[in-house]
Amino acid sequence: MAVLKKKSTATVFVAILLFCIPALSGGSSASQEILLDLQNIQRVQQENRGKPDWAASGLNLLVPGAGYLYLGEKNTAAAFFTTDLVIFGSFLFTRLTSTRRYEASIGFARIYAHTQSRLPYDHAYWSYLSNRNFMNINELNWAFQNNREFDRQFIEPSEFYSWDSPEARDRYAEMRREAGNWRTASTLMLGTLALNRLVSFVSARVATRRYNDRMFSAPLLAPTADLENKSVGVVVVWGR
CA dist list (Å): 222 to 182, 213, 234: 64, 20, 6
pLDDT tens-digit profile of 55-70? 888 888 888 888 888 8
Average pLDDT of the chain to the nearest whole number: 80
Going by pLDDT thresholds of 50, 70 and 90, the confidence category of residue 210 is confident
Average pLDDT over residues 39-66: 72
Q: What is the pLDDT of residues 175-207, one digit of tens each?
A: 999 999 999 999 999 999 999 989 988 888 888
Q: For the ranges 106-120, 131-145, 160-174, 216-230, which has the lowest average pLDDT? A: 216-230
Contact 162, 136 (CB under 8 A): yes
Neighbours of 29 (CB within 10 A): 16
* CB of 212 closer than 8 Å to CB of 54: no
Q: Which amino acid is at 57?
A: S
Least confident of 3-7, 37-41, 194-198: 3-7
Banded model confidence at residue 3, pLDDT cuts 50, 70, 90 = very low
Say which residues have a Cβ less than 8 Å from residue 229's Cβ, sequence separation at least 6: 29
Environment class of residue 38 by beta-carbon count within 10 Å: exposed (0-12), middle (13-18) or buried (19+)? buried
Segment 121-168, tens digit of pLDDT: 889 999 999 998 999 999 999 999 998 998 889 999 999 999 999 999
Higher pLDDT, 215 or 169: 169
75 close to 65: Cβ distance less than 8 angstroms: no
Boundaries of every domain in the chain = 2-113+163-238
pLDDT value, residue 238:
53
pLDDT band at residue 5 using 50, 70 and 90 as cut-offs: very low
Q: Can you give the pTM of this predicted structure? A: 0.65
